[in-house]
Structure 1
Amino acid sequence: MKLVVGLGNPGSQYALTRHNVGFMVLDELARQHATNWRKEGKAEVAELRVLGQKLLLVKPQTFMNLSGDAVAPLMRFYRLPPESMLVVQDDLDSAFGLLRFRMGGRSGGQRGVDHLIKLLGSADFPRLKLGISRPPQGRSAADWVLSKFPEEERATLEELVRIGARAVEAWATAGLGEAQLKFNGTDLRPRPEPKTEPDAAPPAAEKTASDS
């Protein structure tokens, strides 16, 4: 069995905030596989199988900064090593529309990941990072991550979440290396309109003797 932990905050007021993209990916997986959520400890969990691989989806209900309180007991109960857990998280350091896998490393300031590292005693677990961009100048990161995605970003968000769900399945069935090769190039940022050169003026007609 493998654990897939989506990071976010519980409660409808946080449902479409940037900090909750991890929850969104897990909700999409549960919807696609028609599985139901149940309460287990300090988390909501759902079970599904992908090509025979059993996955336990985990949404901590502790609020972001205490995510480890929900996850660490499950890791101990199921006797899973850190590399058997994938964390799906938002990433301030990636532009909105980017998606990438990463193995281990520091938290990068993501408080949920930071708490997981602290309680598990290890940073050696893979992460699936979904970019939410840095806040605009004059706006704090704390305020930005708790802001909702505006209407003009919803279509990109929905596509990013769908791709994120497929990426989780690839990690579970093919492994981290194959999932990185397939999904780390994901870039849903809108492309700028190509510049078009103005139409060239028609060449001047040659003057003939009859024009004189």
Structure 2
Amino acid sequence: MKYLIVGLGNIGEEYAKTRHNVGFDVLDELAEQSKLEFKDQRYGAVCTYKFKSRQFILLKPNTYVNLSGRAINYWLQKEKIKISNLLVIVDDLALPFGTLRLKTKGGDAGHNGLKSIQETLNTGNYSRLRFGIGSDFSKGQQVDFVLGKWTAEEKPTLEARKQTSIDIIKAFGTIGASMAMNQFNNK
């Protein structure tokens, strides 16, 4: 069984370790723990993680968040992966910091990355792991907050939630989205 696991984020040093790049951060953590190395390929950095007879293609698109659909569509087709085996990890302002929500469908919730994916795939019926980054910013400061670096106070929770996100990825591939949602969405 093959899965495409996509962490959304922007390429470039100025975006590294920002809230918007939490999808990249989760995949980087999984790759580091598994001693895997991302290789630059078409539309992104890619590596393959194997777990319990499953193959997870980890993708960090190089298209910037707003054009993520292009990279995802390419890799779904290239690897012949069904859309039901796609999981997108995305930052979410609407969820309190550290909250994780696995969903099997939905709208774009104003997120340009999800909007690109939905437009390119012509459906909102794909799984996404929404990683709550909170909304602790003043009016008009949303962009600065989203593109801002994690604070020292946030880092312990961030590290723990990245690990839980990895557990969710493994569960998604082994027990399926529905059971993974039951196991993790209430924590």
Bigger-Rg structure (1/2): 1
Superposed, 1:39-54 pairs within 5 Å as 39-54=40-55
Deviations 1:51-94 (Å, cap 9, x if unpaired)? Answer: 11000000001111111122111112222222110001111110
Q: TM-score, normalised by structure 1?
A: 0.84
Whether the 8 Å contact between 1:82 and 1:122 is mirrored in structure 2 is no
Residue by residue over 1:31-64, the C-alpha shift from the partner in whole angstroms, topping out at 9 and shown as x without a partner, is: 1111111122111001011111000000001111
Aligned-partner Cα distance in 1 for 2:13–2:43: 17
Matching residue of 1:30:
31
Task: List, as ranges, runs of 4+ consecutive aligned residues in structure 1 with deviation greater than 3 Å.
Answer: none
Q: Name the counterpart of 1:71.
A: 72
Provide the residue aligned with 1:91 in structure 2: 92
Aligned ranges for residues 163-182 of structure 1 at < 5 Å? Answer: 163-182=164-183
* 1:151-166 to 2 correspondences below 5 Å: 151-166=152-167
Who is 1:104 aligned against? 105
**Residue 47 of structure 2 aligns to a residue in which SS?**
strand
Render the CA deviation track for 1:133-158: whole Å, top value 9, x for unaligned. 12423243222210111111111111
Structure 2 unaligned regions, length at least 5:
none
**TM-score computed with the length of structure 2 as normaliser:** 0.95
Aligned length: 186
In the alignment, which residue of structure 2 is the partner of 1:127? 128
Q: Is the 8 A contact 1:35 1:46 kept in 2?
A: yes
Matched with 1:17 is 18
What SS does the aligned partner of 2:63 have? coil
Instruction: Give the stretch that moved more between structures: 132-141 or 102-111.
Output: 132-141
Structure 1 residues not aligned, in runs of 5+: 187-212
Tell me: CA distance 1:107–1:95, structure 2 relative to 1, closer, same or farther (3 Å): same
- For 1:175 and 1:42, locate their aligned partners in 2 and report how far apart those are by CA, in whole Å: 27
Equivalent residues of 1:43, 1:62 under 8 A apart: yes
